[in-house]
Amino acid sequence: MKTDQNSTNNHCLDYPQTESSCAGRELAGSDRVNRSLPPETIARLIHTALDARRFSYAPYSHYCVGAAVLTEDGTVFDGCNIENASYGATICAERTAIFAAVRKGHRRLIALALAAAPEGVEPSAIRDYPSPCGICRQVMREFADPSGFKVILAKSPEDYRILTLADLLPESFGPSFLQEQADTGAEQ
Ligand SMILES: [Zn+2]
């Protein structure tokens, strides 16, 4: 199924023009979460995710994943999945990218592009769009506004779906719950 641009735009708000797609480089930023992603930004995030996927270390699943996360100030960080002989030590591409951003002090995230396919296969060649696992959805929730954060599920720069984190993780639990609990406790 090919996603047309109109349906993709249904999930988009107005995000400012970007200037660079390279991971770790500055893109033109905004202090508002509720902005849309222009096509150029979407394409550049997808290109970055596809490029990061080349570094995937997946000797067990042979499922290679790349991700690129856009931070509030416009910086992009990329990541790939990194597996381990002790399977539980494996980390997904989304979390690799997000943790790289947090490591550099970026705690407000705007969007994440994801590209995935079995080893030796291009994401554009498979039937399904990629989808983040539950753990990664929860990690996104820690650093993003669920209704504003865009998750770009990409086969190629021309073929993708965009969902919000709220679409992927409805009725979610996040940091505010603990804060509200602490506030309530303080009032008693
Ligand atoms: Zn994951």
Least confident of 10-24, 55-69, 76-90, 165-179: 10-24
Span 21-35, pLDDT tens digits: 333 434 433 333 345
3-state secondary structure of 51: helix
Centre a 10 Å sphere on the Cβ of residue 178 and count the other Cβ atoms it contains: 10
Span 110-157, pLDDT tens digits: 999 999 999 999 999 999 999 999 999 999 999 999 999 999 999 999
What pairs with residue 111 in β-bridges? 70, 150
CA distance linking residue 143 with residue 134, whole number of Å: 15
- Report how far ligand 1's centroid is from the alpha carbon of 133 (Å): 4
The residue type of 130 is P
Q: What is the pTM of this model?
A: 0.80
Kindly list the catalytic residues. 94
- What per-residue confidence (pLDDT) applies to 183? 78
- What per-residue confidence (pLDDT) applies to 5? 38
> Is there a contact between 111 and 45 (Cβ–Cβ < 8 Å)?
yes
Structure tokens at 11: 């999930």
- Report how far ligand 1's centroid is from the alpha carbon of 135 (Å): 5
- What per-residue confidence (pLDDT) applies to 186? 62
- Report how far ligand 1's centroid is from the alpha carbon of 184 (Å): 33
For the chain, list the domains and their CATH numbers.
Answer: 2-187 (3.40.140.10)
- Report how far ligand 1's centroid is from the alpha carbon of 95 (Å): 7
- What per-residue confidence (pLDDT) applies to 48? 98
Is the per-residue pLDDT at 158 higher than 90? yes
Whole-Å CA distances, 48 to 6, 81, 174: 23, 14, 28
